[in-house]
Chain A
Amino acid sequence: MLNGLQFGVMLFLMSAGLTLVFGVMGLINLAHGSLYMIGAFAAAAVAAATGSFVLALMASLAAAALAGALIELTIIRRLYDRDHLDQVLATFALILIFSEGTRWMFGSFPLFLDVPPMLAGPVTLPGGIEYPAYRLSIIVIGLLVAVGMFALINRTRVGIRIRAGEADREMIAALGVDIAKLYTFVFALGAALAGFAGALVGAIQSVQVGMGEPVLILAFVVIVIGGIGSIKGAFVGALLVGITDTMGRFLLPQIFALFLEPSAAVSVGSALASMLIYILMAGVLVFRPRGLYGVA
């Protein structure tokens, strides 16, 4: 259950940026997974150079935000008025460029980020459950970011503008808001969150070229479930997907083991478990075609 929560929180970091960009700017950004990868690589490089995990995390934020702002200014900006097919093509090209670029700089062998010693090892939670301290801190950080995002969107002036941009692009431009600057900011923010997620996850898994794409697919599932453009939707969707996936992988093989032989149960169970989140998505879409918190 905690694992599901941790996975969900990580997915939230990833999909919050994606849903903002998609909702506010109407842009399908396939290169979001590359930003996740950039964050992880930046963190791995800085951690190797300085040995400090905190610096590595800051580097991941900065590098991904910088890369995000850069591609927004040079490429993405030209895509807002095009249709979705052009956007998909252009951002897919970005994936290839970033992947090959990273491979060229860092090589194709996976890098490994170490968990900071302070957080290595397990902690005992109330109820006697042992749980890795690092994963617990990911949950806490993710929840803090979620709270921060809510506050940003709902309580600040920038948030008001973002929401306004979502509702009516022309109108806020007419009211004198510099929409281009706003878009760059939103895009960089989304990129920074993705990069941050990459760095956090890089420490428990491996940092390698192409690590972003599987997560990107899940992030799209999350924002479709949650409703496009809704931070709240992304949060609820991410937790739903994270918990469904983890619990499914854990419980389904056991359920099948009750009436099948072990190896068959495992293969049927894991096959079904990997379908589970898509079934969840289909189910949600049947009842709420615009997602849980989508605006009709």
Chain B
Amino acid sequence: MKLRSAALAAAMALAGATAQADVKVGMITTLSGGGAGLGIDVRDGFMLAVKQAGRDDLEVVIEDDQRKPDIAVQLADKMIQSEKVDVLTGIIWSNLAMAVVPAATAQGKFYLSPNAGPSPLAGKGCHPNYFNVAWQNDNLHEAAGAYANDSGLKNSFILAPNYPAGKDALTGYKRFFEGELAGELYTKLGQTDYAAEIAQIRASGADSVYFFLPGGMGISFLKQYAASGVDLPLVGPAFSFDQGILQAVGDAAMGVKNTSQWNKDIDNATNAAFVETFQAEYGRQPSLYASQGFDTANLLISAMGKADVADADAFRAALKAAEFDSVRGDFAFGDNHHPVQNIYVREVIKEGDVYTNKIIATGLTNHADAYAADCKM
């Protein structure tokens, strides 16, 4: 009897101890509508890393934000107040991130961004508990601007959706592009008909088109662009030519140059294993979004190995150290908790029946974002 109660007490103490060390993650991401492909990839990449780590002290709650800021805010409130999560992650779209992240970090939660990197959160609005594992929004576009200079483009027509990341995108491109702008256009987020925009491109006399249209928007635009008979060269960030978009667009995207911080042919063991296991697990090739989800989970897991999430200062330091094997090779955070990394130029190719990208050059080396100096923390 005595022995039994002692065993029970020990078991309870043990349960108590593990409950304390458990990390609960709330993932708010886009799983329906025209932006669903991005959220699904981030989720699958993240969960693949969680599965591989095999830790039973890590619990993930996943919810669909439908790309609506109000729903994202509701979900975040619910996760923080009733689910008592320690870490939030998952948001794809910068307008949603702007609605959720400042409130969540102000309540002492950690936020690890697997995608959105709006400029305010990298500069004046930076927060010690906010880490961006993907990029600051401007980064890939800056590399594209630099690439456009190198390839002799002088007169670009640029367009992006009218939301924070769209503005960051065009700002980033313009920061590095030295040519003239034949036109600058902001479209509605989630727009599916680009006939009017393509007519403007045709009339503008540009020598190239730079566009940032992630997810379903990019598919619609590319298909309509191909049918319109306008044949100016396209340049874009990887978001306009990711794995999901390419399969739907097909031949129309062949040979297009785009910029990315990741590609499946980056040569390191982690990346090779990631590409192979992702393909085996989900039956499709990983996109850059999946790679970002994968890195985000591995960053979190590396920090869990070093510190207790209840000890916020130690946990933060463990995240900042970023000692995990990234699919991008070496990974380091700058002072504003955004990555300092290489951005590559990729080209769309066809491998068998599958459209994909290969790296043809390094666009920017160890590139940090332009807002880091404004961040005081």
Partner-B contacts on A (CB < 8 A): 3, 6-7, 103, 108-110, 112, 115, 120-122, 130, 132-135, 204-206, 208-211, 246, 249-250, 253, 262-263, 266-267, 270, 274
Return the contact of B227 from the options A121, A210, A263, A267 (Cβ within 8 A): A121
17 more CB-based (< 8 A) A-B contacts, given A112-B248, A206-B220, A208-B33: A3-B195, A109-B37, A110-B36, A110-B219, A112-B219, A121-B229, A122-B228, A134-B227, A204-B224, A205-B192, A206-B216, A206-B219, A250-B199, A262-B184, A266-B162, A270-B162, A270-B186
Q: Are A253 and B31 in contact (CB under 8 A)?
A: no
B270 within 8 A of A: no
Q: Are B229 and A109 in contact (CB under 8 A)?
A: no
Closest 4 CB pairs of A and B: A122-B229, A205-B192, A108-B32, A3-B195
Return the contact of B188 from the options A204, A211, A270 (Cβ within 8 A): A270
Within 8 A of A (CB), among B106-134: none
Q: Are A7 and B193 in contact (CB under 8 A)?
A: yes
List A contacts of B226 (CB < 8 A): 120
Bound-complex Cα distance A13 to B292 (A): 43
List A contacts of B202 (CB < 8 A): 130
List B contacts of A267 (CB < 8 A): 162, 186
Q: 1/0 per residue B219-248: CB within 8 Å of A?
A: 110011011110000000000000000001
Task: Decide: A130 near B228, CB < 8 A? Known: A3-B196, A6-B195, A109-B40.
Answer: yes
Most chain A CB atoms below 10 A, which of B181, B200, B227: B227
B185 within 8 A of A: yes
Bound-complex Cα distance A132 to B220 (A): 14
Return the contact of A205 from the options B196, B199, B220 (Cβ within 8 A): B220
Q: Are B228 and A132 in contact (CB under 8 A)?
A: yes
List A contacts of B37 (CB < 8 A): 109-110
Bound-complex Cα distance A7 to B224 (A): 14
Bound-complex Cα distance A155 to B19 (A): 77
Bound-complex Cα distance A204 to B229 (A): 14
Interface size (B, Cβ < 8 Å)?
A: 32
Q: Are B229 and A266 in contact (CB under 8 A)?
A: no
Q: 1/0 per residue B33-77: CB within 8 Å of A?
A: 110110010000000000000000000000000000000000000
Task: Decide: A250 near B32, CB < 8 A? Known: A109-B40, A266-B184.
Answer: no
Q: Are A132 and B32 in contact (CB under 8 A)?
A: no
Q: 1/0 per residue B13-41: CB within 8 Å of A?
A: 00000000000000000011110110010
Q: Are A266 and B185 in contact (CB under 8 A)?
A: yes
Q: Are A115 and B185 in contact (CB under 8 A)?
A: no
Q: How far is the CB of B53 from chain A (nearest CB, A)?
A: 27
Q: How far is the CB of B158 from chain A (nearest CB, A)?
A: 10
Bound-complex Cα distance A274 to B227 (A): 26
Q: Are A108 and B185 in contact (CB under 8 A)?
A: no
Q: Are A210 and B196 in contact (CB under 8 A)?
A: no
Q: How far is the CB of B160 from chain A (nearest CB, A)?
A: 10
Q: Which A residue's beta carbon lies closest to that of B200?
A: A250
List B contacts of A103 (CB < 8 A): 32
Task: Decide: A208 near B34, CB < 8 A? Known: A6-B195, A270-B186.
Answer: yes
Bound-complex Cα distance A124 to B248 (A): 27
Q: How far is the CB of B347 from chain A (nearest CB, A)?
A: 23
Q: Which A residue's beta carbon lies closest to that of B220?
A: A205
Q: How far is the CB of B44 from chain A (nearest CB, A)?
A: 12
Bound-complex Cα distance A208 to B30 (A): 14
Q: Which A residue's beta carbon lies closest to that of B30?
A: A108
Q: How far is the CB of B43 from chain A (nearest CB, A)?
A: 12
What are 6 contact pairs spanning A and B, CB under 8 A?
Answer: A110-B219, A115-B223, A132-B224, A205-B192, A208-B33, A250-B196
